[in-house]
Structure 1
Amino acid sequence: MIIQPTSLAAQLWAGAAAGTTAAADSWRVGTLLSARIMGQTDIGKLLLDIGGMTVEADAPGGQLPQQFQVRVLTQGAQPQLEIVPGNTDERVAMQGLRERLPLQNGYAPLLGVLAALGRRPVARMLPAPLRAALATLEAAISKPSDVSSPLGMKEAIAKSGAFLEAHLAEPKHETPAADDFKAALLALRRALADIPTGRPGTQLARPASDTPPPLVQRALVAQPRAPELSLGDDDIEAVVGQLRTDTRAALSRVEIAQLESHPQAGVWMIEVPLAAGRGYDVLQIRIEEGQPLPGDTDGPWTVGFAIDPPSLGAVQGEIQLRVPRVSVRLWAQRPETVAHLENAFVVLRRLLEKSGLILDHFSCMHGLPTPSSAYSAVLLEARA
């Protein structure tokens, strides 16, 4: 399969094509380059990071993995790049995604059932092992106050489920696997497997939910809470059936985020459930470590996030850090939330200054962004 870039980043490619910059050496015929999908442009072209350069290319006939290698076949204004077949690990990861994508859903349906059971007498009628598993799941969910400090946010991310296997391989006292969200989901699945299966299709009546999967090339989507459920004492079989479906969907979603996280490329997809008020919210996070510029020791960091608590409505954000400078862009669905966030601007600047950082840019816009990729249009313009 051949990729033919149609445009490359700013003057870098102009110099590389003419052979006047060091970039030309990295694009010699036969050279292997790492490639990564960044998203898609408004006109349907792929946005790729190839060898540290941002390029646009026509989409090939087949589906590309998130990360792959290419070999330079020809140079010139529009070089041709051959896609090198992936290794076994990549094929296994792609198979894992194919198996889990049809099963996944957002956490909101499962968390909605958990919240309803906490307020209804029917919970006392569930089997004791299932009640214990639900209590373990509830204990694994962080609170908003937990993520209000750097250490608390670190701990919430550590037990979000994305790093369970790493914690089991190298156990540490500060991140016990027992507190892990994925570990709690696995325990809940085991408890549900021990309960006899009820009538086919026995589930709670509620609106259908189809939350987009946490893929690197997709934009973040703020996930609202599921509609509040009304449970009766005779709904035990329906509750168990619904928990089976929702637990399977949540586990598939955690594992998709794990498969989409690539530490070697500096990309992590993380979702942190939060217990707030009478329900649960989901903080979706995308963290990326960029490549350092010539002469720099550290590259830039970009953190995107999305959340939709009832008190604020949908909020999305994008934080860019190139030490010591920080840029913050926020979007809020409600105008009163925009005003609330803007009022916190002075506090944010002071906190950053105490940490030795400089706030270069802060903006909070009414409405939600509609990017064509994982990044906002502003970030794409900055990189293109």
Structure 2
Amino acid sequence: MTGDINLPTLPPAPATGPRPAPAVGELLKLLEPQTGLIDAGKTVNAEVLALKQGGEAFQLLLKLTLEGGRQTLVQAASNQPLPLGSNVAVSQTASGDLAISLQQALSANVAALTRIDTQQLPVGTLLQAKVLTSQMLPQGAGQPALYRSLVSVLNNALSGTTLTLESPQPLRVGSLLSAVVQGAQTLDFVPLSGLRDQLAVSQQLATQQSRQGSLEGLLSALQNLPRNADLPADLRAAVERVLAGMPDLAQVSNPKVLAQLLHNSGALLEAKLLAGQNPLVPPLDMKGSLLRLVAELMPALPAGTNLNAILAANTLAQMLPSFVRSPLGTLGQMGARTAPGGFPLPERLLQRLEGENSLENLLRLAAGAISRLQSHQLSSLEQTGTTADGRLQTTWQMEIPMRTLQDIVPLQVKFQREEPAPDKDEPERKIERDAKKMLWRVELAFDMEPLGPLQIQAQLSEGKLSSQLWASRPFTASLIESHLGSLRERLVASGLNVGDLDCHLGTPPRGPKTGLEQRWVDETA
């Protein structure tokens, strides 16, 4: 399905069909009969927590607030959908079912948005939603078919709200919908076959970040292994292979060596495998070396080791209250997601568990290190796409551990490239002709003694370079500030047109927008 999806200008009408609408009340049939739930002649407030379509009927999960403030959850079936979050007054009939007034049912549908606030979601914003219902609307003779759906928004500022949509084709109930905001009442459908499913990437990223551990913790443990440790030959070779891939500061300062290190950081492992390359042939790929280390560690563990318990220790439990989790699972409602972090990834050192021997601890640390590299890869995917002004943004995010004397310093790196929007008048124009118009951004983050935590952002566009530096320690900020003049002279001598060069105390500001939606410096302002 392609094309526009519209938000209707009027509140949605009640479900259509051959049945006549009740004049006094709309019946909600309880899936599990409960007599005496509500006293005769009394009404109580009900909030819709979940909605699921099943054929011609709809299943609702309602939270009733009874007398005295006591709350209970009930499941009911209805002939028309009520939007998530809507509130209605319900009473109980003589047959034991619930009833709401027809006017209440109509008013409840106002809870489903029929207009998007473009201040919250600017034009060009990618919206992800889950389709809850789909109904065909009655049309006059010769008129094209029109379908109305309720969808639950899963991302952005409208997360958790319900939208009412109209489309020329039915939306499959339970499917994920991707659309770009075109206006207050128009969405442009984005086929998942032509675009990665950003929601799935975000969910997997949240999972990986909960499991990830610091590369520094693993590499320090490998360096501190006793020389006389009784390790199998293959495991010892795997350990040496990982340590051999760690450069020193002088190597990272060499542009050619640095390019090779970035290529072998693990961010491109899957691409190498698809191309038929062996990641264990020098120069070694960091992620491939870690995977090989895990493969050699597992058979070397003592007999009876509980692998599930070891690896599960990397995961942070994310629990919903039990009274919500069980009913929502019954109705197939999607649970809440944790928001993935930005750049740089936060440090997370996995603590050694009591009673673990060295090999078990190494396995946990190695699994956490692999999850950290995968977090960088997924962050790259999440920040790759089309910007609001039509530019194609591509992101590469990675991490390189390096030696500085006796310390291990992880260097986090992020590259972003923005290509100009296609020229509508010259669609055949080759991208090489726009190379100078590409916008490049680079971010670095590391913590090196005695300088402390440092973050650097640089932007290059049409030969003009601008850079911002942030230092967490006042001494470091003052030291960098005193050398900015020398840095500018060296950059100019390299043939660059240098714009702003500034150093700040603290860390870069991180607003609610992602890198895909904003630039550090607007060169056209």
The TM-score with structure 1 as length reference comes to: 0.67
Alignment of 1:359 with 2:498, yes or no, is: yes
Which position in structure 2 is the counterpart of 1:274?
A: 402
CA contact (8 A) 1:112 1:280 kept: no
**Matched residue pairs, number?**
323
Going from structure 1 to structure 2, the CA distance change for 1:69 and 1:152 (only over 3 Å counts) comes to farther
Structure 1 segments, 4+ long, off by >6 Å, are: none
The aligned counterpart of 1:17 is none
| Cross-structure match for 1:288 | 416
Separation of aligned partners in 1, 2:519 and 2:264: 30
Which of 206, 223, 239 lines up with 1:134 in the alignment?
239
75, 86, 93: which one pairs with 2:192? Answer: 86
Please state whether the residue corresponding to 1:61 is helix, strand or coil. Answer: coil
1:272 aligned partner, one-letter code: I
Indicate how the Cα distance of structure 1 residues 86 and 298 shifts in structure 2: closer, same or farther if over 3 A, else same. same
Secondary structure of residue in 2 paired with 1:125: coil
Contact 1:222/1:307, CA 8 A, preserved across alignment: no
Q: Go from structure 1 to structure 2 and tell me whether the alpha carbon gap of 1:82 and 1:285 turns closer, same or farther (over 3 Å shift).
A: same
Cα displacement (A) at 1:358: 1.7
Instruction: Report the alpha carbon displacement of residue 163 of structure 1 after superposing the two structures with TM.
Output: 1.0
Deviations 1:230-266 (A, max 9, x none): xxxxx8x522112212222222222232233347741
Equivalent in the alignment of 1:6: 118
Q: Residues 222 and 315 of structure 1 are in contact (CA less than 8 Å); yes or no, is this contact kept in structure 2?
A: no
Q: CA deviation at 1:130?
A: 2.0
* Conserved? CA contact 2:301–2:360, under 8 Å: no
Deviation of the 1:96 alpha carbon: 6.5
Aligned CA distance change for structure 1 residues 241 and 101 (closer, same or farther; 3 Å)? farther
Residue 176 to residue 128, structure 1, CA distance change in 2 (3 Å): closer
> Which of 59, 70, 79 is residue 180 of structure 2 equivalent to?
70
| Structure whose residues are more often helix by fraction | 1
If each structure's strand is expressed as a fraction of its own residues, which one has the higher value? 2
User: Aligned match of 1:161 in 255, 266, 290?
Assistant: 266
Distance 1:225 1:82 in 2: 40
Q: CA deviation at 1:179?
A: 1.0
SS of equivalent to 2:398: strand
User: What is the correspondence of 1:78-157 to structure 2 with a 5 Å cutoff?
Assistant: 78-87=184-193, 90-91=196-197, 95=200, 98=203, 101-104=206-209, 105-108=211-214, 110-119=215-224, 121=226, 124-157=229-262
SS at match of 1:316: strand
Q: Which runs of 5+ in 2 are unaligned?
A: 8-114, 128-155, 163-176, 317-337, 385-391, 424-432
In the TM superposition, what whole-angstrom CA distance separates every residue of 1:133-192 from its partner, at most 9, and x where no partner exists? 11111111222222213323211211100012323444789x956511011011101101
Q: Report the CA distance between 1:369 and its aligned residue.
A: 2.5
RMSD over equivalenced CA pairs, Å: 4.5
Q: Report the Cα distance in structure 1 between the residues aligned to 2:226 and 2:192, rounded to whole angstroms.
A: 53
Structure 1 stretch 356-365 or stretch 258-267: which is displaced more?
A: 258-267
Question: Using a 3 Å threshold, how does the CA distance of structure 1 residues 172 and 127 change in structure 2: closer, same or farther?
Answer: closer
* CA pair 339-126 structure 1, distance change in 2 beyond 3 A: farther
CA separation in 2, counterparts of 1:36 and 1:118?
Answer: 45
Superposed CA offset, 1:243-298 (max 9, x none): 21222222222223223334774111211222222232211122111233789652
Contact 1:289–1:300, Cα closer than 8 Å, also in 2? yes
C-alpha distance after superposition, 1:24-54 (max 9, x if no partner): xxx9xxxxx7x559xxxxxxxxxxxxxxxxx
Give the SS at the match of 1:193: helix
SS state of the match for residue 476, structure 2?
A: helix
Determine if the alignment matches structure 1 residue 368 to structure 2 residue 473: no
One-letter identity of the residue aligned with 2:415? I
Structure of larger gyration radius: 2
Q: Which runs of 5+ in 1 are unaligned?
A: 14-26, 28-32, 38-56, 230-234
Q: Residues 305 and 316 of structure 1 are in contact (CA less than 8 Å); yes or no, is this contact kept in structure 2? A: yes
Aligned to 2:445, the other structure's residue is in SS state strand
For residues 379 and 322 of structure 1, the distance between their equivalents in structure 2, rounded to whole angstroms, comes to: 12
1:1-384 to 2 correspondences below 5 Å:
4=116, 6-7=118-119, 58-61=157-160, 69-70=179-180, 72=182, 75=183, 78-87=184-193, 90-91=196-197, 95=200, 98=203, 101-104=206-209, 105-108=211-214, 110-119=215-224, 121=226, 124-170=229-275, 178-197=283-302, 199-200=305-306, 218-221=341-344, 238-262=357-381, 265-292=393-420, 297-372=436-511, 373-375=513-515, 379=519, 382=522
Q: Is the 1:116–1:228 contact (alpha carbons within 8 Å) kept by the matching residues of 2?
A: no
Distance (Å, rounded) in 1 between the aligned partners of 2:292 and 2:408: 20
Instruction: Report sequence identity in percent.
Output: 25
Q: Secondary structure in 2 aligned to 1:4?
A: coil
Shift of 1:380: 5.5
How far the C-alpha of 1:222 sits from its partner, in A, is 6.5
